[in-house]
Structure 1
Amino acid sequence: MKRRMLLATTAILSASLLAAGCGKPASEPQNSAAGAQTPSSEPGKQVTLRFATWDTGDLLKIQETIARQFEAKHPGVKVQVEAYGDGFDQKLAASIGANNAPDVMYMWDFPTYSQNLEPLDAMMSADAGLKPDDFYPGLFNYVKIGGKTYGMPAGFTTRVMYYNKKLFDEANVPYPKAGWTWDDFKETAKKLTNPAKKQYGFGIRAENDPYDLQGFIWSNGGSFISPDGKSIDGFMNGKETADVLQMFGSLVKDKTAVIVGGKNQQSGDDVFKAGKIAMWESGVWPLDGFKEAKIDVGTVVMPAFPGKKLKGVIAESAVSISKSSKNKDMAWEFVKYYASDEAIKLRTSDLPVRKSVVAEKKLDQDPLYQSFYKMLEACDDTPAFLLNPKWNEVNRNLTSAINTIMLGQNAKDSLDKAVKDSEKFFK
């Protein structure tokens, strides 16, 4: 699954590249009759579908396997997997700008690309085989712009709290349980901090992606942006937002948390594996690495603020169809297959989006995975980047402010500056 910190820094360049070519697609949008019957290529004619992915290495091999299995089900169709890697956004934007977009592509930044994507609503409603009720409904909130669906959920992760059971046992501290509060968290972190061993209760990232922090902000009743996406003053620098970020900065100041992942520093995942932090919040990405390192790890839903509803945020991968594709019907068949039980079971870098696959694998009963699905139930808010098309510019100022807060600066002052520097994007 693509990490947003890298992608957000490239989205501004991508938008400028799109501006050069988005007004004149290579072909006019085609009317789709997907769902009436499974399309097939004309006899003797090869149809090539281009599929752009950001995956590399072993994950890319999985994409190739999915492509070959789709080809086996659709004689005469060739799926050309194009690995854009970490340059995904720049390469995708360049291909769209040159009127040479792939037919199908991984997608996350719908505000930037929606005008170049084919809405899927008509195809979805006409295709009884899709079984939309088998998807977790909150996932569709992240693939819509203006009420239209531009992507099919393919994989996701929520964020949970990892904890090192060995360190808890050594300190005779009970494991955290669902329903705990941030006051419980802070007290637990203090008990698990041992300066003599350079061991800390928690790790704070040197560079924080505001996207990942939104669940905490929402849980305290705050938001980075107004619900209509038109204002940040009083939201990004509001008390509820500032209090959350100040709380994290204070953990570093009182030495119950340590900064990780900065220049010449180990990543938080590696520090956790080394037994130097007892708790670490993240998505599903590091879990396999923790298992391989034989860490006796547990997961639990995030703490809540007293008297307030727990909220979470989703990192989601989707697959979309280019508006300029000349093979929309077959592209839809590939998108549908990519979101099928068969294909979902092959992918390992994110969590299954279909309830049937989760039930078959019993992930919602697995102590390590059930917290991710419990957090999914709390993910009903809309991220800031989906509410305003210029959020990527705002995000740079907010990121800078947050990082200074984690290093000891006053949260309200830092956020006020970020708002002042960003208000020009709302005029």
Structure 2
Amino acid sequence: MKKWAGITLTAALTVGVLAGCSNGSDSGGSKDTSGNGASGNNSSGKSTPGKTTTIDFWQLDGTGTQDFYVTLIKQFEKDHPDIKVKMANIPEDGFFEKLNAAFAAGKGPDLWGGWYSPDEFERGYIAPLDEFIARDQYDMDKYFQPATALRLKGADGHYYGLPRDMSNAVIYYNKDLFDKYGVPYPTSDWTLDDFHEAAKKLTHPDDGIYGTDLFASDFNAITGNPIIWNMGGDVASDDGKKVKGYVDSPEMIKLFQYAQTLSKEGVNAPSSVMQTAGDQGPFSGGKIGMSLGFLWGYNDIKKAGFKAGAVGFPKDAGSANNFAWTEEVSWYMNNKSEKKDAAWAFMKYLSSPEVGKQAIDTNFMWGPPMPSVWEEKGLEQDELLKVFLEQAKLTTKAPSYDRNRTWNEVGSMFTQAYTDVVNPVDGKTYKDPAEVLPKVADEMQAKIDELLSQQ
């Protein structure tokens, strides 16, 4: 699964429409009418002796994961003979639209995989899990924190999902290119100046080699890594409702200027090179010296035809901040499902250490969301994975697009500003970030305020 941007259910759907009932077979319990959606001590979804409860489960992973899911379901059903899981695989492109339509028709699944900004939980169609957590004395601190709380806790303090995985970001680098051009490998205390110097030395356009692709897009450069946080800046307020004062901050202007400099010098890979396919793009093809790397792309890097290394992100000289960028894909339960206990049992299983270990053993399907599993499986012995684990233990924030769903309406404005400043279409007319960013911050803030007033 590639999670390059926060995708949320469309704002046009109301809570009443979204709160559709699952249409799976054999309910196994009375409909929840408590209004808060958690089953806890009520009868919603409780199994009836001698009767099988069938739950509908939707997931959006690629076809390469289907055998793994089938195996997991068989194992779960063997241990829970009174529960059957009916799985539907829906391609990631269009997944949320189909989920919307199913809820609107009253046929939403009992549980599904995905990702949301925390304000999505206010709509009421995703079930809060606190009564289940309390009933089972379920330890949420076994997952990577604070990442899990940042992604899965609503403003009301309730948890609304369980994590499937953990993925974070690092800088991958091509050791073969560093060796070829006599460039020292980066170290954990490197600065943005160090990154700049290495990128220049690694750039050889005549050979089709470029120092980096980190500044190829606003996601790679800013919203998909912690560089702006380590500079003391941010893209938005913690709740995502304010961008004025953040998008146009001195720190953001400085980062845009830095990115523009690398673009003008030609050390950042041009768009023609970035067309290369693959989760890691041209980096996997050996054309890039340093690249933004995600755990989701780990298998691609392991298959690359060169020696790869990984390191944390460079910091501004003198910066005392040390943030990491960490993400999760999670499991969610339909608030109006009549089979909450069965759905909860399956959710717990999918988020368990047992499944995490199997994910590692099955071609590293995904990174487990529990640090204990990483350590038990000895992943810190892997040269690349140990850096991901180190990063996952650092302080983090929610990416800007995961703070508030209004980002889906204003993110394109930020992208256009970045393009105008760093990667202009004609490759010549570079705009001044000190002029562009205050204007786009005003436009983004006006749109966010408008959207918030409609909620």
- TM-score under structure 2 length normalisation: 0.84
Cα distance in structure 2, aligned partners of 1:25 and 1:413: 50
Match of 2:418 in 1: 402
Match of 1:139 in 2: 147
In structure 2, list runs of 5 or more residues that go unmatched. 23-30, 424-429, 451-455
Q: CA deviation at 1:256?
A: 1.5
Contact 1:207-1:261 within 8 A present in 2 as well: no
Cα distance in structure 2, aligned partners of 1:165 and 1:215: 23
Measured against aligned partners, the alpha-carbon deviations of 1:202-251 in whole angstroms (never above 9, x if no partner) come to 11465443873451211111111123543211111111112213322321
Contact 1:227-1:387 within 8 A present in 2 as well: yes
Cα distance in structure 2, aligned partners of 1:338 and 1:225: 33
1:33 corresponds, among 40, 44, 48, to: 40
Matched, 1:359 2:365: no
Cα distance in structure 2, aligned partners of 1:175 and 1:415: 34
2:399 corresponds, among 383, 393, 396, to: 383
2:326 corresponds, among 299, 314, 318, to: 314
Matched, 1:282 2:293: yes
Letter of the 1:77 partner, please give it: I
Contact 1:203-1:257 within 8 A present in 2 as well: yes
Measured against aligned partners, the alpha-carbon deviations of 1:244-302 in whole angstroms (never above 9, x if no partner) come to 13322321211122134778555682422332211111201222122223321111111
Contact 1:108-1:317 within 8 A present in 2 as well: yes
With over 3 angstroms needed to count, the CA separation of the structure-2 counterparts of 1:101 and 1:31, relative to structure 1, is same
Letter of the 2:333 partner, please give it: I
Measured against aligned partners, the alpha-carbon deviations of 1:326-383 in whole angstroms (never above 9, x if no partner) come to 1111111111111111111233343111122111211133221111122223342233
Match of 1:120 in 2: 129
With over 3 angstroms needed to count, the CA separation of the structure-2 counterparts of 1:277 and 1:393, relative to structure 1, is same
Match of 1:71 in 2: 77
Segment of structure 1 superposing worse, 281-290 or 317-326: 281-290
Match of 1:61 in 2: 67
With over 3 angstroms needed to count, the CA separation of the structure-2 counterparts of 1:265 and 1:351, relative to structure 1, is closer
Match of 2:27 in 1: none
Percent of aligned positions that are identical = 30
1:60-209 to 2 correspondences below 5 Å? 60-85=66-91, 86-110=93-117, 111-114=119-122, 115-128=124-137, 130-140=138-148, 141-146=150-155, 147-204=157-214, 206-209=216-219
Q: Secondary structure at the match of 2:253?
A: helix
Matched, 1:426 2:436: no
Q: CA RMSD in A?
A: 2.6
Q: CA deviation at 1:20?
A: 6.9
Match of 1:414 in 2: 436
Cα distance in structure 1, aligned partners of 2:158 and 2:73: 27
With over 3 angstroms needed to count, the CA separation of the structure-2 counterparts of 1:387 and 1:197, relative to structure 1, is closer
Letter of the 1:251 partner, please give it: L
Q: How many residues align?
A: 419
Letter of the 2:103 partner, please give it: I
Segment of structure 1 superposing worse, 328-337 or 257-266: 257-266
1:178-327 to 2 correspondences below 5 Å? 178-204=188-214, 206-209=216-219, 212-213=223-224, 215-260=226-271, 265-266=276-277, 269-308=280-319, 309-327=321-339
Match of 1:332 in 2: 344
Q: CA deviation at 1:25?
A: 5.9
Contact 2:17-2:104 within 8 A present in 1 as well: yes
Cα distance in structure 1, aligned partners of 2:112 and 2:279: 31
Q: CA deviation at 1:413?
A: 3.0
